[in-house]
Structure 1
Amino acid sequence: MNKKVARLVSYGVFAVFLTACSDNSQTDTETTATPVATVAIETAETPSSEYTAALVPRYQTDLGFQVSGKVSSRQVEAGQKVSKGQTLATLDDVDYVQRKQAAEAALKAAKQNLQKAENDLRRGKELYQSNAIGEQQLESYQLAYESAQDQFQQAQSQQQQAQNALEYTRLKAPESGTVVAINADPGLVVSAGQPVVQLAQGEQHQVVFDLPADKPVTESATLMLNGQELPLSLFSQSGALDPLSFTRRVRYNLEQPLDDALFGQLATVLVVNTDYDNGQLLAVPIAAIDQRGEHAQIWRIESGKAATTEVQVMELTTQQALIKSDNLAVGDVIISQGINRITEGQSVKAVN
């Protein structure tokens, strides 16, 4: 009887032991799987960037006096709108008035000398016809008349130049526009051609800013100013990169006039990257991108195992990577954290 009881107890203990071993095996399998965080792939918005730009005029001209002298007055200020022909600044014209008077006096004398030479020639021809003088004397009258003509023309030219020089002491606006800057304080001595006024002709605005070398130049952009979003179109781009900043300067035309904006004012330009093809862009966390191989890749969970999928990184933002892949779609679940602790085929489990 005691032997039977002992045998039954032994069978019970063995059964309990087998059950415990089975449970421990299952528990060990679960604990060996590496925990990872997962996330669903999202649709990416078209990449865009914001830049600080300056409002500049479409046409800007540096104006200067055509003669040298001392500035006597300036009649406009920076930011002032002017009309065509309006006087902007003047030079001291005392010397130029005297030159004009001297040129007019020389012209008057040359005119009188020409009239005398003309009279002498006419009288000489009459005397020559009456054989009162010889051919040599007539030629002298002719030469004197031609010389008087040359002197008169020269005096006319000098008088016109003196008149022009006097007019050049007044700097006038060649076209209607806005004064951007002026450096014509009274008393300043300037040389001919020295820029003293910057004039923005017309009302058309442009924006100018520096674009990083790795960013594409787009045909259109958006100006954000005073709560408005205004369309821009590409006007020009620099043909060379700045060797220090590795940027290129670009200019965009503003399609409509701005009444409440000043030249030189700063604004924000939004540039949308339209350089991608029609392939769909996907958004994933930056931490999900694994760069340990030859190509960028992300990790997925397939039948409890970690598996990689090659991707092409198109753009990086502050938090997301914009990618393209033929093997992924919106909504697919990928491993978002812990990728540095896993290898291909390793057992993993999501802990989200």
Structure 2
Amino acid sequence: MQQLKLLTKMPKKKLYYGLASIVLGICIVSGMMWKGQSQPKPVEDDVALVQTAVISVAETAQDYAYSGEVRGRYESQLAFQVGGKIIKRNVDLGSTVNAGDALMEIDSKDIAQTVNANAAQVYSAQSQLKLAENNLKRYRQLYEQNAISQAQLDQYQSAYDAAVAAVQQTSAQYTQGANQLGYSTLYATSAGVISGINAETGQIVSAGQSVLTLVQDGEREIEINVPENRIEELRKAEQIQVTFWALPGVAADGKVREISPIADKISRTFKVRISLLNPPAEIKLGMTSTVTVVHPGNKQTASLPLSAIYQTGDTPNVWVVQNDTVTLRPIKVGRFEDNQVEVLEGLQNSDVVVTAGVHKLKEGQKVCTGGDNQ
């Protein structure tokens, strides 16, 4: 009570200053306590245990391998020149044929009737021609005797000329029909092997529709598909070697004969034909082959497991360890095989590269290479 009386007796100005000092002191003390409690404790950086490999750069020849198929140099798509129903097929897939062999036949009944009608028209036209010729002779004699006028003779001369033209027209129609009757049988244009059958007995085909594929005897080639970024390298290839899956130990040299100017609509690759310079006698159509293309000059390359690649967008990268710290480095890759990738650019000899857990790392992170090095 005495303290309260003392406060009431103090001047109001001093009382206000005193209360303000007390409040300020409380705020300062509270702020210091809050700062001490809210400040986070320092956290040590995570050190990742990684598996690494030491890069060994070697000089290798630049070569690429493509799978291919043995094909014939000349392949003909055979078709009937007239439409109709196939009534007979004389060959099977793989049959060997000679030039002039009958391969297929279509029903020629309608064509034969057309030929008969054309023959009748020829006979009729020839009869009209004979009549016009007799009339012309008769009226020419009358004209010489001044029994008819020149105008009347000209009429019979014109009728004779029309009859001659009618005979020529009907004869041409008859010849055309006879040719179509001959077209009802499909003949081999050259010696070779039937590599494709696109129509069967009982099927109705139109004129020009491909029904058989004939591979002509002679030169054999290898057909491969090459991506667009390798076309120029293929043109400059120093050596092309062809091996065959079914003929171990058999190889042949080749050269580029033809490169398609247009890419395939689906695969977006270009068809390339490789001519065989010394074709083995054992090769057969349709065999699987491997075409190895050797490019001029050597290159410095290294090999890494696929697990070492860290892809960012369209760029392949690897984590390189330097002073126990990882750094992301872009690289240029080559071919892939047996879970390994060929590195063409971006790495040097003795570089240490992370080969496992690459997706858990970040730039500048400390690592421990205590794992088994590859």
Normalising by the residue count of structure 2, what TM-score does the alignment of the two structures yield?
0.65
CA offset at residue 67 of structure 1? 1.7
CA offset at residue 128 of structure 1? 0.7
Comparing 74-83 and 153-162, the one that deviates more: 74-83
Unaligned runs of 5+ in 2: 1-48
- Aligned match of 1:253: 274
CA distance in structure 1 between the partners assigned to 2:163 and 2:309 by the alignment: 95
Secondary structure of 2:99's counterpart equals coil
Aligned length: 308
Q: 1:233 aligns with which of 230, 235, 255?
A: 255
CA offset at residue 72 of structure 1? 2.4
Contact 2:84 2:106 in 1 (8 A): yes
Alignment of 1:1-352 (within 5 A): 39=54, 41-212=56-227, 215-216=230-231, 218-219=234-235, 221-225=240-244, 226-227=247-248, 228-234=250-256, 235-237=258-260, 239-240=262-263, 242=265, 245=267, 247-256=268-277, 257=279, 259-263=281-285, 265-272=286-293, 274=295, 278=297, 280-285=299-304, 313=332, 315=334, 317=336, 318-319=339-340, 321-324=342-345, 333-335=350-352
Contact 2:226 2:272 in 1 (8 A): no
Q: Deviation digits for residues 116-154 of structure 1, max 9, x if unmatched?
A: 322322332222111022222212211210111111111
Comparing 208-217 and 105-114, the one that deviates more: 208-217
Q: Deviation digits for residues 8-41 of structure 1, max 9, x if unmatched?
A: xxxxxxxxxxxxxxxxxxxxxxxxxx99977473
Secondary structure of 1:198's counterpart equals strand
Comparing 74-83 and 99-108, the one that deviates more: 99-108
Unaligned runs of 5+ in 1: 1-33
CA offset at residue 114 of structure 1? 1.7
Contact 2:55 2:302 in 1 (8 A): no
Cα distance change of structure 1 residues 97 and 290 upon mapping to structure 2, 3 Å threshold: closer
Q: Deviation digits for residues 139-185 of structure 1, max 9, x if unmatched?
A: 22112101111111111111101211111111112233221122453
Q: Radius of gyration: which is bigger?
A: 2
Contact 2:70 2:287 in 1 (8 A): yes
CA offset at residue 61 of structure 1? 2.6
Cα distance change of structure 1 residues 143 and 64 upon mapping to structure 2, 3 Å threshold: same
CA offset at residue 208 of structure 1? 3.1
CA distance in structure 2 between the partners assigned to 1:281 and 1:288 by the alignment: 21
CA distance in structure 2 between the partners assigned to 1:204 and 1:290 by the alignment: 45
CA distance in structure 1 between the partners assigned to 2:107 and 2:318 by the alignment: 76
CA distance in structure 1 between the partners assigned to 2:292 and 2:63 by the alignment: 5
Cα distance change of structure 1 residues 41 and 306 upon mapping to structure 2, 3 Å threshold: farther
CA distance in structure 2 between the partners assigned to 1:58 and 1:270 by the alignment: 17
CA distance in structure 2 between the partners assigned to 1:73 and 1:324 by the alignment: 63
- Aligned match of 2:41: none
CA offset at residue 286 of structure 1? 5.2
Q: Deviation digits for residues 51-106 of structure 1, max 9, x if unmatched?
A: 43333333333222222222222222221122222211112333333332332233
Given residue 141 of structure 1, which amino acid in structure 2 is its aligned partner?
Y
Secondary structure of 1:281's counterpart equals strand
Secondary structure of 1:131's counterpart equals coil
**How large is the RMSD of aligned CA atoms in angstroms?**
4.2
Contact 1:306 1:348 in 2 (8 A): no
CA distance in structure 2 between the partners assigned to 1:64 and 1:122 by the alignment: 51
Secondary structure of 1:178's counterpart equals strand
Given residue 283 of structure 1, which amino acid in structure 2 is its aligned partner?
A
Comparing 82-91 and 226-235, the one that deviates more: 226-235
Q: Deviation digits for residues 193-216 of structure 1, max 9, x if unmatched?
A: 222212223433333344345555
Cα distance change of structure 1 residues 67 and 348 upon mapping to structure 2, 3 Å threshold: closer
